[in-house]
Amino acid sequence: MTEKELLYYEDAVGHEKNTIDICRFIIDAITDDELANFMEKQMKKHEEIKEQLICRMEEAANE
């Protein structure tokens, strides 16, 4: 992985972290259980994406 690609991955991880924080904020702020459940599912998706990106970066570091 090139330095530029690594920077893209780092940016993507940062964006995923930001999205997760926004989801948490919304979950804490709303009272509608159905909407909260939906946001929790979205947050979990972004947590999975973030972990996949981190794993790929770690794999590249070990190559």
pLDDT of residue 2: 86
Q: 32-47, pLDDT tens digit by residue?
A: 999 999 999 999 999 9
* Rounded Cα distance, 3 and 25, in Å: 33
Q: pLDDT category, 1, cuts 50, 70, 90?
A: confident
**Measured at the alpha carbon of residue 13, what is the angle toward residues 63 and 27, in degrees to the nearest 5?**
145
With tokens 């330095």, the residue in question is 3
* Rounded Cα distance, 56 and 38, in Å: 27
pLDDT at 63 over 90: no
3-state secondary structure of 1: coil
* Amino acid, res. 30: I
- Percent of the chain residues topping a pLDDT of 70: 100
Domain positions in the chain: 3-62
